[in-house]
Amino acid sequence: MRNIILTLLAISMLWSCSQSSSNKEGESASEESKEVNVYTHRHYESDQKLFKDFEEKTGIKVNVVSANADELIQKMTLEGENSPADVLITVDAGRLHRAKEGDLLQSVESEILNNTISSNLRDVDNQWFGLTIRGRVIVYNPEKISPENISTYESLANPEIEGRLLIRSSSNIYNQSLLASIIANNGEEAASAWANSIVENMARDPKGGDRDQIKAVYAGEGDVAVSNTYYLGKMLNSSSEEEVKVAEAVKILFPNQDGRGTHINVSGAGVAKHAPNKENAVKFIEFLVSEEAQKVFAGVNYEYPVNEKVEWAPTLKEWGDFKRDTLNLSVLGENNDLAVKIFDRAGWK
């Protein structure tokens, strides 16, 4: 950890010196340069294409710093007012809320963002905005289990699922946000009981990512798993014949369709509190929710667009429409600490 902090400090000092040098060469403090500095946790081909498209469309150069979410948040915290970051992009409303609580983002007034993105998919104070949507769904072996027995998240806690469930670690932000949504919808007591029962029903100790849970269903290690939609979408369209074979052998189920709807989350972006190029940062985020950009997110990464004018990718269309939980995603971040405590009490590894 000490080495990571020292490395981040060194990077920050070098960038800060570079920025200072530019100002000394005559750049007015009130004038924005033709660049935008993007700190991003996302690592997809779709994003690289969109960064290039934005540069060609606007003439604004996109400078990218890539790392995992916790490292980026820590980096921005250490850099403080000297941070060169203009935009933070990460996945899950829980992480976006963490950045907001760390006083790393600022409110933005944008008619384009407000009119394009549903209110439940953006921060109540307009400090972060959803870019893409992912559903947290149930994936199952149709030869081993009936969809009627796993139609809700709550049903995964039933005794008949004992020893059959595959799900990743409680340290994973996707599961933390799922539990945060259950807290919001059902209350703390019910959420605690659910987590306890899920631990009892696990086919194995949690390990690996969402794709690993799907592969374990195919391998017969369990009959049912929990995954984000885009993982299965990418597997179905993979260049790996084995991944396609696995994905085609399982079925997808959107939970709670007769109730509150399927839990959804977002990848999202916010303007950094000390953004040196705020105007460019806003333009950049507005571009990412445009029809042009949203088609790339949907078509390349199999995510649901936040821009409702954009068609879904063919794979998503094949799964059909589904009812979504309309809970404001800010609540997921607000309930995160409690979700982690419940996981710990339940012994969810």
**Sign of the Cα pseudo-torsion (129, 266, 324, 237, in order):** positive
The whole-angstrom separation of Cα 211 and Cα 203 is: 16
| Helix, strand, coil percent content, the chain, rounded in steps of 5 | 50, 15, 35
| Mean pLDDT value across residues 307-316 | 96
C-alpha dist (Å) from residue 103 to 15, 74, 76, 218, 271 = 21, 12, 10, 44, 11
pLDDT at 32: 58
pLDDT at 44: 85
Q: Give kind and range of the element (H or E) at residue 235.
A: helix 229-236
pLDDT at 21: 37
Whether pLDDT at 223 is above 90: yes
User: Could you name the CATH architecture of 134-263+324-346?
Assistant: 3-Layer(aba) Sandwich (3.40)
| Mean pLDDT value across residues 196-208 | 97
| Mean pLDDT value across residues 256-277 | 98
pLDDT at 5: 43
pLDDT in tens, 113-168: 999 999 999 999 999 999 999 999 999 999 999 999 999 999 999 999 999 999 99
pTM confidence score: 0.88
| Mean pLDDT value across residues 67-94 | 95
Whether pLDDT at 191 is above 60: yes
Joined tokens for residue 273: 């509190």
pLDDT in tens, 166-185: 999 999 999 999 999 999 99
Helix (H, G, I), strand (E, B) or coil at 255: coil
Helix (H, G, I), strand (E, B) or coil at 245: helix
Is there a contact between 206 and 168 (Cβ–Cβ < 8 Å)?
A: yes
> What torsion do the CA atoms of 27, 28, 32, 36 make, to the nearest 10 degrees?
40
The whole-angstrom separation of Cα 86 and Cα 33 is: 12
Is there a contact between 291 and 311 (Cβ–Cβ < 8 Å)?
A: no
Whether pLDDT at 11 is above 90: no
Residue spans of beta strands (DSSP E) within the chain: 35-40, 61-66, 87-91, 129-140, 165-166, 224-228, 251-253, 264-271, 304-305
Superfamily of domain 33-133+265-311: Periplasmic binding protein-like II (3.40.190.10)
pLDDT in tens, 22-53: 443 334 333 558 999 999 999 888 899 999 99
The whole-angstrom separation of Cα 213 and Cα 227 is: 8
pLDDT at 341: 98
Q: Where in the chain is the domain with CATH 3.40.190.10?
A: 33-133+265-311, 134-263+324-346
